[in-house]
Chain A
Amino acid sequence: MKQKLAVPVLLFALLAVVMTLVQFEVIDLYIQTIILFIGINIIISSSLNLVNGHMGEFSCGHAGFIAVGAYVSSVLSVALFAQDRIFGAPLLPPQYTVYAFPVILVIGGLAAAFAGLLVALPSFRTRGDYLAIITIAANYIIITVIINIDKIGGARGFMGMKRVVFAMEDTAAIPWMVLWVFLFTILSIIAIRRFVSSTYGKGIIAIQQDEVAAEIMSVNTNKMKLIAFMLSSGLAGIAGGLYAHVIGYVNPKSFDILKSTEALVMVYLGGMGSITGSILSAVLFTLLLELLRPLQIIKWIVIPLLLIILMQFRPEGIMGNRELVDIFPKLKKFYRFK
């Protein structure tokens, strides 16, 4: 029974170590930014993996949902807690930021999930290429809508979220963004993990194997698809909210098809249907982009080349569809998710 506590204890220790290092400025802001990006990318890739990997669909518009989450949570937090040109004086005193911030993030996630619902409904009857086209279209629709709303900056982008982060730090001087990114990353992974390994959630793996057979075996495929899509886009929305508050500025162009492609690359690099793979690839991808920056233009030869080499020798991605415990079965006794 003690062994079952190993994973939570480890995670808590990791969080404590990172927080202490950041608090006492042992690691500089650059490393801190990279760590935050890694966390956000883990949420993005594992949530897209739910649709593209576990369910075997092909969604190409993940950035659209990230954008919804980013904008909804940014507008909310700025309207509530920061002096702003458009929204005027803050509506709530700054001490409340600490409690309100996770709620705002979740609201951003819910908004993104709702956007996911709107996309999922008309795409019931489609699979493969058609869903890809619908999701790309949805991505463009979302960006175009944002560009045309002048209240939130339109093409100029929206800012002021840093003031909310500062308000949190004024309330209690700890690195809040590290804490929130860490917590939400862990929560997202637990949510996805528990969902796909539950009896109910196994339905989406059945859909991936054979949709017709799944339907016959009493899986309500329409409902399953809807839930998986909403969960995936909702988590993407949370990632978007975190992204907006880490950078302190959002611009509709940051969420175009390129961002969606990045998410796709991370999913296929890690292996479809593997949560461990998504985490590994998000870490690897973020670090590679940073480490190879000195190479300048050559970077965009090296990274695609690495991808090609990987696909040549491991077409199923780093992990295939296996998890960490499938490779090291002994780890099984250390954690349980059910």
Chain B
Amino acid sequence: MKKIFSAFLFLLLTLALAVPGLAKSKIIRIGFNIPLTGEIPKVGESSKYAAEMLKADINGKGGLQVGSEKYLLEFIYEDNESKAESAVAVAQKLIDRNKVLAIIGPNSSKQAVPAGEIADMNQTPMISPWSTNPDTTKDRPWVFRAAFLDPFQGPVAVDFAMEQFKAHKAAVLYALANDYSKGLAEIFKNDWEKKNGKGSVVAFESYGDKDQDFSAQLTTIIAAKPDFIFLPNNYNEVALIVKQAHDLGWKGPFMGSDAWGSAELMTLCGKDCIGQYFSTHYAAAGATGATKEFIDRYQAKYGYVPDDVAALTWDATRLVLQAIQDAGKLTGNVRKDRKAIRDAMANIKSFAGITGNMKFDDQGDPIKCAVVVRINDKGEFVFTKSVCP
């Protein structure tokens, strides 16, 4: 038994060492630091599928045109298990072992912040499609992101609610243990009170990790008689909160944030979520042009409407490829090429992504528009309004 075990281990070891050795020249290698297992495997899957689609497109045409030569793309997907230390090890591996030109990911801030440190230290361009924590890109010239930041999204929700619901009093219910939810809730509260006067956020309630029952908080909120409820929470919790609020007799509207925008939301929430609004990166239903083409092809290939992570990964990857093309030529020297790509990325003037036009500010954060969508009777996310900074 021991012999078989050790033979098996040896086999795995040789396999693991042999795989990177097969690479040929004329290849652009890009690493993906994504959560294929762990807490949020769907996010990793969306990222991978979007990237696979893009790779098939470009390699199908013979490769990416850089200067006068064509390069085939090679994407390396590494699983970071949704853990900080694994994201660090993966980033380290992609940079040292696989010699990638750039890294896409990690998606959640918990991993993107430490992995960004590694990328920045080792002078490798990294772009996180989804992370919203300011620390991810702060003072890190080599790190970029494709999603807009919460300090922008909060006011979007405030302005939209004031206009659409004619609201003067707001209530907020947020997840205490979720930095995204907590941060956005606080930004929203500050902005709302600035525009509507002190005390206009009539209820500011929180709940803990993995809570299932929100009736206590919702009772307080409903008793405070707000004009609407702001829910900057993950889609799985949103489904529960909306249902329970309706059970408690709440008839007013809800307003959400980009974390609502999962393919899973409507399966969990059903008809309770119909008619609600949330701000997000792009609107799947009613999309036009390149966005529509992306959505249709993704749906045909993988069987569901792509969520914002898929769209953002598509944009992030295309941004990197754009930067490679802008760099003009690849020298084959990884360090020099990485530097050229970073500079090209920071200098992108305007990029037409499927989540909107964008360019980077000096911190590596994008300047782009947010959209507010409405959930229609068919459960589709329909474009309502676009808000630009």
> Residue among B19, B41, B84, B88 with the most chain A CB within 10 A?
B84
Q: Shortest beta-carbon distance, A311 to chain B, in Å? A: 13
Is residue B90 within 8 Å, beta carbon to beta carbon, of the partner chain?
A: yes
B114 and A154 within 8 A (CB): no
One of A52-60, A124-132, A286-294 contacting the partner: A286-294
Q: What string of 1s and 0s marks CB contacts (under 8 Å) between A174-197 and chain B?
A: 000000000000000000000000
Q: In this complex, what residue of B is CB-closest to A148?
A: B176
Q: Shortest beta-carbon distance, B183 to chain A, in Å? A: 7
Q: How far is the CA of A297 from the CA of B34 in the complex (A)?
A: 12
Q: Shortest beta-carbon distance, A267 to chain B, in Å? A: 19
Q: A33-B88, A147-B177, A248-B114 are in contact. List 7 more A-B contacts (CB 8 A).
A: A34-B89, A156-B133, A254-B84, A294-B15, A296-B79, A297-B79, A299-B37
Which residues from 78 to 122 on chain B have a C-beta closer than 8 Å to any C-beta of chain A? 78-79, 83-86, 88-90, 92-93, 95-97, 109-110, 113-114, 117, 121-122
Cβ–Cβ < 8 Å partners of A258 in chain B: 83
Is residue B178 within 8 Å, beta carbon to beta carbon, of the partner chain?
A: yes
Q: CB within 8 Å of B: which residues of A?
A: 28-31, 33-34, 37, 144, 147-148, 154-157, 159, 162, 243, 247-254, 258, 289-294, 296-297, 299-300, 309, 313
Set A29, A154, A297: member contacting B95, Cβ < 8 A: A29
Q: How far is the CA of A30 from the CA of B86 in the complex (A)?
A: 11
Q: How far is the CA of A300 from the CA of B16 in the complex (A)?
A: 17
Q: In this complex, what residue of A is CB-closest to B116?
A: A249
- Which 8 residue pairs spanning A and B have beta carbons closest together? A155-B179, A249-B114, A28-B96, A30-B96, A156-B179, A30-B92, A254-B84, A30-B93
A290 and B83 within 8 A (CB): no
Given A156-B109, A254-B84: A30 in contact with B89 (beta carbons within 8 A): yes
Interface residues on chain B, number (Cβ under 8 Å): 42
A296 and B77 within 8 A (CB): yes
A interface majority secondary structure: helix
Given A37-B85, A296-B77, A299-B37: A249 in contact with B92 (beta carbons within 8 A): no
Q: How far is the CA of A180 from the CA of B309 in the complex (A)?
A: 40
Cβ–Cβ < 8 Å partners of A297 in chain B: 36-37, 41, 79
B interface majority secondary structure: helix
Q: In this complex, what residue of A is CB-closest to B20?
A: A294
A154 and B182 within 8 A (CB): yes
Is residue B388 within 8 Å, beta carbon to beta carbon, of the partner chain?
A: no
B177 and A155 within 8 A (CB): yes
A293 and B90 within 8 A (CB): yes
Given A30-B92, A254-B83, A254-B84: A162 in contact with B176 (beta carbons within 8 A): no
> Residue among B1, B114, B182 with the most chain A CB within 10 A?
B114
Q: How far is the CA of A156 from the CA of B13 in the complex (A)?
A: 37
> Residue among A155, A157, A243, A254 with the most chain B CB within 10 A?
A155
Is residue B56 within 8 Å, beta carbon to beta carbon, of the partner chain?
A: no
Cβ–Cβ < 8 Å partners of A313 in chain B: 1
13 A–B contacts, CB within 8 A, in A order = A29-B92, A30-B93, A144-B208, A148-B176, A154-B179, A155-B179, A156-B109, A243-B85, A253-B84, A289-B86, A290-B89, A293-B79, A297-B36
Q: Shortest beta-carbon distance, B93 to chain A, in Å? A: 5
Given A247-B114, A251-B110, A313-B1: A293 in contact with B84 (beta carbons within 8 A): no
Q: How far is the CA of A156 from the CA of B22 in the complex (A)?
A: 40
Cβ–Cβ < 8 Å partners of A147 in chain B: 176-177
Q: How far is the CA of A147 from the CA of B207 in the complex (A)?
A: 13
Cβ–Cβ < 8 Å partners of A243 in chain B: 85
Q: How far is the CA of A293 from the CA of B110 in the complex (A)?
A: 20
